[in-house]
Chain A
Amino acid sequence: MMTTEEIEAKLRAAFPDAHLQVVDTTGTMDHFEALVVSSAFEGKTRVQRHQAVYAALGDAMRERIHALALTTLTPDQYGSP
């Protein structure tokens, strides 16, 4: 179990410039959706972006989070209509 605030703090530490939206989708503190918009994703594949997010969450990803639906965008991708 984990709070959205804890997840945001870990992501913020790894992606200081990020725009973040973390939602507890089931209200049970183990299924989440996260939008991460960061310039750190520029030039990275989807797999590399998600791996960077998983690395930022560390052990929490394996032990405390059951499911995390991720959207990882660069500022350009996020800003474009």
Chain B
Amino acid sequence: MAPKIELPIVNPTFGEDGPAGSDKPRTRAEGGDVMSEIRREVSDNPVFLYMKGTPHQPMCGFSARVVQILHHIQVPFQSCNVLDDYEKREAIKVYSEWPTIPQLYVRGEFVGGCDIVTEMFQEGELQTLLKG
């Protein structure tokens, strides 16, 4: 007797990932909470920076320095301006157990703030990490 092959049940509307990526953490606009939205941002974007201001107009010297380093090594990145989002500004500190902004994430992992990013850049470690 031929073994019964069980095919995965796939909803043709959504494909294997389910509705709009049901495994994915939801943003607040999608009904998730702010922590879920942070998980989504750092997992959807290979390089993500929480900062004060924007890359074009940083509002803090520490954020400006991290932007400058990322530009210098020519790595594309997405960012979030926490000055526009008080809830996220507080939540990101809890998420990373880190009290300050900026915060750099690479492939979902928290890398550090301005001091650590600067030190890693000076030692060439950041370039290695970003190439990986």
Bound Cα distance A70, B93 (Å):
17
Q: Is B97 part of the binding interface, using a Cβ–Cβ cutoff of 8 Å? A: yes
Q: Is A25 part of the binding interface, using a Cβ–Cβ cutoff of 8 Å? A: no
Q: Is A41 part of the binding interface, using a Cβ–Cβ cutoff of 8 Å? A: no
Contact present for B112 and A47 (CB under 8 Å): yes
Contact present for A47 and B99 (CB under 8 Å): no
Q: Is B110 part of the binding interface, using a Cβ–Cβ cutoff of 8 Å? A: yes
Cβ contacts B102-132/A at 8 Å (1 or 0 each): 0000000011110110011000000000000
The interface centre, meaning the residue of B93, B99, B112, B116 with most chain A CB atoms within 10 A of its CB, is B99
Contact present for A51 and B115 (CB under 8 Å): no
A68 contact set on B, CB distance < 8 A: 100
Q: Is the interface of B mostly helix, strand, loop or mixed?
A: mixed
The range of chain B's interface size is: 10 to 19
Bound Cα distance A67, B120 (Å):
20
Contact present for A46 and B98 (CB under 8 Å): no
Given contacts A51-B97, A51-B98, A54-B99, contact A69 B115 (CB under 8 A): yes
B99 contact set on A, CB distance < 8 A: 54, 61-62
Please name the residue on chain A nearest to B93 by beta carbon.
A62
Contact present for A46 and B112 (CB under 8 Å): yes
Inter-chain pairs besides A46-B120, A50-B116, 14 sampled, C-beta below 8 Å = A46-B112, A46-B119, A47-B98, A50-B113, A50-B115, A51-B97, A54-B97, A54-B98, A54-B99, A55-B97, A67-B62, A67-B100, A68-B100, A71-B115
What are 21 A-B contacts with C-beta separation under 8 Å?
A46-B116, A46-B119, A46-B120, A47-B98, A47-B111, A50-B98, A50-B112, A50-B113, A50-B115, A50-B116, A51-B98, A54-B97, A54-B98, A55-B97, A61-B99, A62-B99, A67-B62, A67-B100, A68-B100, A69-B115, A70-B115
